[in-house]
Structure 1
Amino acid sequence: MRPSQAFMMQATKALRGHGADPKNGVYMGWWGNLGSPKQKGIITYSVSPNRLNPMAGAYKAAVFNTYRRTYNQILYWLPPMVLGYYLMDWAIEKNEYLNSKPGRLAAKEE
């Protein structure tokens, strides 16, 4: 290439406004003139109420949900718990009696 040819080189097709974009195949234009269709409507964005206050109503719902679930399940867990408590209380008292002086004397006599 001669030095005079270096100054006479032309810009590529993409820079001239014609030709292909390597990704999309069409040159869209420069900033502000992207060649896209005109906007047909106005799009607005808003923030969801859950994003604004994610814990809104959580404590109130927790109280009523806990009540409802306990009310529906109480007959499944309360009787075994009461039975277990009285059984454990009886076993502790029996153990304390058998390991006391009167309990050892009673066991020795039998």
Structure 2
Amino acid sequence: MRPTPALRLQAARILRAGHGPDPKNGVYMGGWGNLGSQTQKNIITYAVSPNRLNPTSHILSLAVFNTFRRTRNQILYWVPPLLIAYLAMDWAIERNEYLNSKPGREEYADSE
């Protein structure tokens, strides 16, 4: 089957551009940056002007309120264990100081 004149013209353009057909698929894909596909249509992009955009405008005020909200929601999870640990440590320090004092040694001297 003979190629049509339009296909021959396209093949001549391809050969002049220095690119041959794709050996795997037999289709010319185009050079680097121009892969031969059709241009995409109906793509809408929106942008905001850089002078209207300030991503750090409310960072400090929002951080204060966000920290307060998160702390308020978590306070019952970490205050009771912290309080129990503090009371246990306080009791242990006082007990150790008593046992290493003169009255404590006299009281528990015979138990050793």
Bucket of the pairwise TM-score, normalised by the shorter protein: 0.5 to 0.7
1:52-94 Cα offsets, whole Å, 9 max, x none, are: xx42111111111111101111110000001111111000000
> Which amino acid is the alignment partner of residue 67 of structure 2?
T
For residues 73 and 91 of structure 1, what CA distance do their matches in structure 2 show? Answer: 28
Change (3 A) 1:102 1:55: same
Residue 49 (structure 1) aligns with: 53
1:109 deviates by: 3.7
For residues 49 and 67 of structure 2, what CA distance do their matches in structure 1 show? Answer: 33
1:22 deviates by: 6.4
1:45 deviates by: 7.0
What is the root-mean-square deviation in Å for CA atoms of aligned residues?
2.8
The residue matched to 2:109 in structure 1 has which SS?
helix
For residues 60 and 48 of structure 2, what CA distance do their matches in structure 1 show? Answer: 29
- In structure 2, stretches of 5+ residues that fail to align are 1-15, 20-29, 32-46
> Which amino acid is the alignment partner of residue 76 of structure 2?
L
For residues 55 and 98 of structure 1, what CA distance do their matches in structure 2 show? Answer: 58
Identity of aligned residues (%): 53
1:46 deviates by: 1.9
Change (3 A) 1:45 1:83: closer
Runs (4+) off by over 3 Å: 20-25
Residue 73 (structure 2) aligns with: 72
| TM-score normalised over the length of structure 2 | 0.53
Residue 100 (structure 1) aligns with: 101
| TM-score normalised over the length of structure 1 | 0.54
The residue matched to 1:92 in structure 2 has which SS?
helix
- In structure 1, stretches of 5+ residues that fail to align are 1-19, 26-43
